[in-house]
Amino acid sequence: MSTMKKMVQVIACFSLCFLQGYGEEHCKPADLTAVKAQKSDTSKEKEEKASLAAFEKLHWETDMDEAFERAKNERKNVMVMIEEEECKWCMKMKKGALSDPKVQKRLQSYILLKVKRSDKKTAKRIEEFTGAIPSFYFMQPDQEMIESVIGYFMTEDFAGYLDELAEDNEGYQ
């Protein structure tokens, strides 16, 4: 009986030592992975905030009448962006193409107007608006439509689109 008791104690002691070491080995990499993921999330968040800050540096009108009045005074066309804050594709456009310095330079030739889709009164004033967001409408100061484009664009594609638009409509600027 005492031999059996000693064997149980040895097995129990061995098990505790083995399981404790085994548990630590498997927990440590998981903990390190969680810390690394947390750090990468933090750096991603910083990057996204910086991108969004670049977007916010653009001067966006929010009143349609004021935007077109300013366009007449400054002899510029208007780019209307219809969006909504919780729209993931709108946010991707803001953090991507609309935060790019090359795109922002091209946008300086426009009066920028940001309209929320939920602002039905203003959104309805753009006859071509279908409800899809993000939507971009390029208009003359007299509110005549030049061209429109709907959806998310990669930076290079949006920059190319703006270049083509500028070439096709040189007389408007």
**pLDDT digit string (tens) for 112-149?**
999 999 999 999 999 999 999 999 999 999 999 999 99
Which positions of the chain have pLDDT values less than 50?
8, 10, 12-30, 32, 35, 173
Q: Judge contact between 87 and 150, C-beta under 8 A.
A: no
List, in sequence order, every beta strand (DSSP E) within 14-96: 60-61, 77-83
The Cα–Cα gap between 83 and 140 comes to 20
pTM: 0.69
Q: How far is CA 78 from CA 74, 87, 131, in A?
A: 11, 22, 19
Phi, psi of 91 (to 5 degrees): -65, -40
Q: Judge contact between 103 and 161, C-beta under 8 A.
A: no
Burial class from Cβ neighbours inside 10 Å (0-12, 13-18, 19+) for residue 94 reads: buried
Q: How high is the pLDDT of residue 33?
A: 54
